[in-house]
Structure 1
Amino acid sequence: MGTLSFSFDTDKLQKRSDEITKGVDRAPGRSLLYTTGRIKRPADMDKPFIAVCNSYIEIVPGHVHLRELADIAKEEIRKAGGVPFEFNTIGVDDGIAMGHIGMRYSLPSRELIADAAETVINAHWFDGVLFMPNCDKITPGMLMAAARTNVPVVFVSGGPMKAGLDPHGKAITLSNMFEAVGAFKDGKLSREDFLEMEQNACPSCGSCAGMFTANSMNCLMEALGMALPFNGTALAILKQRRELVRQAARRVVAVVKQGLTPREIMTKEAFEDIYAADMAMGGSTNTVLHGLAIAHEAGVDYTEKDINRIAKRTPHIAKIAPSSHWTMEDVHRAGGMPAIMNELIEMGGDVFHPDRPSVTGKTIRENVLGHHSQDEAVIRPVAKAYSPVGGLAVLYGNIAKNGSVIKSAGVDPTITTFTGKAVCFDSHDAAVKGIDGGAVKKGDVVVIRYEGPKGGPGMPEMLNPTADIIERGLEKDVALITDGRFSGATHGICIGHVSTEAASGGEIALIRNGDRIHIDLVRRTVDLLVSDEELRQRRRELPPCTPKVKQGYLARYQALVTSADTGGVMVGYDQLLKAANELQ
């Protein structure tokens, strides 16, 4: 079955929603539509039906205010000539889910969100969608649904939270709170200060205040062309956020009438530009995972190898928490994504493709024209870049033949290579216990495996182990590699997304305690210093991996998910058919 999309013809007034509103046979459905209270009069049946895909959920701080924002949006949609219908998706708060079984549901929730949005949009033939995400997996899940359904859309997120304050009045974010756990365990932080930080690290609604995954994705939506300027940086509590919602609501009705679909915006050049923007701002490593998944849904052929090519030509011009003390409100004050993108555009060459369409009705170039950094300490000019190459890198080697990802912007600039002795753990929990117990020392490379998409299952984040390492003063002296992933709050010599993962027989499963591992950030390699013959012998001795989960959603996810280097997308029909034929 082909992609469900449409072209709005202003003469014939053909709309997707005509499928459920026109003709004698649709009278029962029209009766139900009147019952909802959204249809006030027969003339409303001729207006575009606009879904408001809201991710309001009371246990996620980034989303607790979306109930109010959705009401603002629906009022504006009706004023603009559309009929709004709100529906909700689920959401997982990574910070709350961190360090226990809940984190194994985080990445898989992305697929549920995409599937749920697709289901509602296509089952009810909506003409357009206003997506309202904010946190980690919700934004990419909705972007995947937008690409899949290819119905005209506009995105507006809930915005970042204010930075918190530590007992000394210093700005802090959630990443500082995770690191405070290690400091408290190590006796470096008093109980009183620890409790004060706990109650003040997250002082308002909104996505966590650093350039973590949620804010990285919400910023990159501007570069992609799916959201309005300042979507990624205007704080959740600002009046500007509410005005952005009003503007986005009006724009979605206009985009429907224009007939501009997501796949017209989500081109290969657009994905090159989101990675260029990511390199410039030093965003989360999770953007690699999500960008590849969104490209897959959009039918764009994009791989991790393309990302290194982008990194080589893109300067790193902003270091935001956790890589510095600057927070999202500092980025907004300094000019936000328009200033960052305009800096790249003014470089010229092929660093950025600014003449692409966007949901604003203007090109990306027009969206950011005239925007420059208002604080060069926060957003540097290219001439004063932290590095001439981007803040993310994909590393390859004999333990990452299909790639691995590091946030090079979060590594101390004095470190270009690291060689150390492997200390292996077969789970996140075992690693935390080992680090707390003193099993990890200077010069070690912590290996955490069987935590990939299949092995986890769900590819949980390794924020607790990395935070423990940092707070023990080992940030420059210990590296960590994993087939799991990291929070955007992670920094240090931390390599994730190692592919192929251990649960699928990847080489990371062959590492043994005491093996030496060499990391080269310049050559972008990560290698186990063991002979090929020894690795072949270890593979012969490697026992098969037993699935950790046998029932429920995680069991199904475990069976169908693909590798991190593909974006961790689910196996498609063609792949399932091929596997079935191979079994016959």
Structure 2
Amino acid sequence: MRSDNVKKGMQQAPHRSLFHALGFTREEMDKPLVGIVSSYNEIVPGHMNLDKIVDAVKLGVAEAGGVPVVFPAIAVCDGIAMGHTGMKYSLVTRDLIADSTECMALAHQFDALVMVPNCDKNVPGLLMAAARVNVPTVFVSGGPMLAGRVKGKKTSLSSMFEAVGSYAAGTMTEEDVCEFEEKACPTCGSCSGMYTANSMNCLTEALGMGLKGNGTIPAVYSDRLRLAKHAGMAVMEMYKRNICPRDIMTKEAILNALTVDMALGCSTNSMLHLPAIAHEIGFDFDIGFANEISEKTPNLCHLAPAGPTYMEDLNEAGGVYAVMNELAELNLLNMDCITVTGKTVGENIKGCVNKNPEVIRPLDHPYSATGGLAVLKGNLAQEGSVVKRSAVAPEMMVHEGPARVFDCEEDAIAAIKGGKIVAGDVVVIRYEGPKGGPGMREMLNPTSAIAGMGLGSTVALITDGRFSGASRGASIGHVSPEAAVGGTIALVEEGDTIKINIPEMKLELDVPKETLAERKAAWTPRTPKVTEGYLARYAQMVTSGATGAVMKKELS
């Protein structure tokens, strides 16, 4: 056992004394030491139930012959962090989570791990850590919350953000907003649509790192506790068979996840996280590679915000495995990839049928013949940009309009709510990227304001920041190179014509090359608007050209 490094031999007598201080018995020190990485806290709704999940995992581990030991991982609620300086800290926590979990797991020589995440950054962060540590590991998330119900219709957090815009437009009263406020998020769990957290939890299943139902069983269902117990048992079986994350998270498994991503219509943030996870196993790819997969993968689901269905509906329809079974009929998946069950993908999904063709469209009736995400390139995004194609209105798939330029999110929101943005405009929000922000804030507030003002099918939004999975409409994010490094988005001027062509994967600024060259020559770098503490030091490192910082490596 790996843990023998801290438990066995005369040299480890001091170590054993510390285990005795923890209350360990001699019998326990003869068993595998299983770390339970708990993201439980009392500030993130998706994590407030994780103490119960962790307890269930511990029972499963102990029943199968291991010794469960809990240690924590941090987590940020993007909804609460949205729209203020806190959002500058959200994305960077992914790497802090990966680093700190790697430190804990290797410092204490755990034999196996069970990861218990739920929300946006700690699912990918813990997947990255799993690949680095490479001991038998199973994931079990806290699960999605149930959809809210307002005036007889299902709703979710994205509707709440849009309600604020509707109030500003005068189409919703304060009483209406209060009703949404009290009912949009009715239970614990990750927010109920196909936002980033649920996207990543579903893709954990597709990767083979979570058991069936990991992404879709609602947080408040007792099935979730049974799943957690089975996760604890499964990790012990993996330990006995020495099945490790890098045996599971192969290049082929990443391709499976990208394919399922396109079928489900996942968050644009998956184009940040899947490449980072792939990097940990030595598989580096340009995000434009996703278009090759999208071109042959039908979009089968329109979960909120793209459509009227929610995670609970996907769960009842058969879940991720039912979607994968549909894709298998087109030979789009590698069926031989091993998973945490000890079985292959093909063995896992056999017999998992689509129980509701209104939630999971059959292959002969997809929402579109191509996948839910698209990577656009052009002179405005030479290195790429990402749009959730499945959430774009048909009339906005091709759009041309004048640029309305803002150097931060707050100025854009003020203009939108002030009625200064009109149909046909292309809102450009820049200096919100990894370096320019710094921290690459999420732009859910501006997109929700546009939708709430009734402009969702007539106004586009482009940013070097990123978009929440809750964003809909012609919202194009992750524009690279970002403004802070002199990308073309920094050179856009008020009134310039921007051309968007999603079917042709193009994003162009309609300005002569000579004019762009002149603007580039006159452009001067800006100092990022830093915030307190660690992020301020990070921004200083970036602007001074320092090397070696983990966040600089991952986000620059």
TM-score normalised according to structure 1 size = 0.92
Residue matched to 2:546? none
Partner residue, 2:188: 205
Does residue 449 of the first structure (1) align with residue 435 of the second (2)? no
Pick aligned residue for 1:161 from 145, 152, 158: 145
The residue that corresponds to 1:186 in the other structure is 169
Which whole-Å CA distance do the structure 2 matches of 1:228 and 1:242 have between them?
A: 13
- Tell me which residue corresponds to 1:549: 530
Name the % identity: 52
**AA partner of residue 409 (structure 1):** S
Q: Is the 8 A contact 1:420 1:445 kept in 2?
A: yes
How big is the alpha-carbon RMSD for the aligned residues of Structure 1 and Structure 2?
Answer: 1.7
Secondary structure of the equivalent of 1:302? coil
The one of 457, 462, 476 aligned to 1:481: 462
The reply to whether residue 320 of structure 1 matches residue 303 of structure 2 is yes
1:104-133 per-position Cα deviation (integer Å, ceiling 9, x unaligned): 111011111111101100110111100000
Structure 2 unaligned blocks of 5 or more: 544-548
- What amino acid is the match of 2:200? M
Q: Distance in 2 between matches of 1:156 and 1:561?
A: 36
**Structure 2: how far apart are the matches of 1:219 and 1:116?**
24
CA contact (8 A) 2:268 2:386 kept: yes
Match among 140, 149, 153 for residue 170 of structure 1: 153
SS of 2:479's partner is coil
SS at match of 1:497: strand
Superposed displacement of residue 569, structure 1: 7.6
Answer yes or no: is the 8 Å Cα contact 1:419–1:517 preserved in 2: yes
Give the alignment partner of residue 385 of structure 1, picking from 352, 357, 366: 366
Match of 2:4 in 1: 18
CA contact (8 A) 1:480 1:494 kept: yes
Distance in 1, Cα, partners of 2:516 & 2:135: 49
Q: Is it true that 1:341 corresponds to 2:324 in the alignment?
A: yes
Quote the residue 1:81 is aligned against: 65
Q: Distance in 2 between matches of 1:347 and 1:470?
A: 36
Residue 44 of structure 1 and its aligned partner are, at CA, apart by 1.9
Q: Which residue of 2 aligns with 1:353?
A: 334
Alignment-derived partner of residue 287 in structure 1: 270
Alignment of structure 1 residues 80-99 onto 2, 5 Å:
80-99=64-83
- How far 1:22 sits from its partner (Å)? 1.4
Contact 1:317 1:379 in 2 (8 A): yes
Say whether the 8 Å CA contact 2:138–2:234 is kept in structure 1.
Answer: yes
Contact 1:561 1:569 in 2 (8 A): no
Aligned mates of 2:212, 2:542 — CA distance in 1? 34
Q: Report the residue type matching 1:176 in the other structure.
A: S
Q: In structure 1, what is the equivalent of residue 235 of structure 2?
A: 252
* Counterpart secondary structure, 1:548: coil
* Correspondence list, 1:300-311, <5 A: 300-311=283-294
C-alpha separation in 1, matches of 2:192 and 2:456: 22
SS in 2 for 1:17: helix
Question: 2:67 & 2:376 partners in 1: Cα distance?
Answer: 49
Asked if the contact 1:268–1:301 (Cα under 8 Å) also holds between the matched residues in 2, the reply is no
Deviations 1:14-34 (A, max 9, x none): x11111111101101111012
- The one-letter code sitting in structure 2 at the alignment partner of 1:234 is I
Q: By how many angstroms is 1:557 displaced?
A: 3.6
1:243 aligned partner: 226
Shift of residue 414, structure 1, vs aligned partner: 3.7
In 2, Cα distance between equivalents of 1:328 and 1:559: 41
One-letter code aligned to 2:414: K
Give the match for residue 444 of structure 2: 463
- Count of residue pairs the alignment pairs up: 551
SS of the residue corresponding to residue 498 of structure 1 reads strand
Deviations 1:488-533 (A, max 9, x none): 1000001000001111111110000000000111110100000111
Structure 1 residue 170: Cα displacement: 0.8
Q: What residue identity is the alignment partner of 1:141?
A: G
Distance in 2 (alpha carbons) for counterparts of 1:18 and 1:36: 17
Contact 1:282 1:316 in 2 (8 A): yes
CA shift for structure 1 position 43: 2.8
Report the more deviating stretch, 399-408 or 411-420: 411-420
Q: Structure 1: 5+ residue runs without aligned partners?
A: 1-14, 563-567, 577-584
Partners of 2:316 and 2:55 in 1: CA distance: 28
Structure 1, 423-432 or 299-308: larger mean CA deviation: 299-308
The CA distance in 2 between the partners of 1:428 and 1:493, in whole Å, is 17
- Distance in 2 between residues matched to 1:99 and 1:495, nearest whole Å: 18
Partner letter of residue 365 of structure 1?
G
**Structure 2 CA distance for partners of 1:358 and 1:486, relative to 1, 3 Å:** same
Question: Residue 334 of structure 1 contacts residue 375 of structure 1 at CA under 8 Å; is this kept in 2?
Answer: yes
The 8 Å contact of residues 188 and 219 in structure 2, kept in 1 or not, is answered as yes
Tell me how far 1:561 sits from its aligned partner. 7.4
Give the 3 Å change call, closer, same or farther, for CA 572–465 of structure 1 in structure 2.
Answer: closer
Q: Which amino acid aligns with 2:10?
A: V
Decide whether aligned partners of structure 1 residues 337 and 560 sit closer, same or farther in structure 2, where only a CA change above 3 A counts.
Answer: farther
TM-score by length of 2: 0.97
Q: Which shifted more, 255-264 or 212-221?
A: 255-264
CA contact (8 A) 1:424 1:447 kept: yes
Aligned-partner Cα distance in 2 for 1:197–1:505? 41
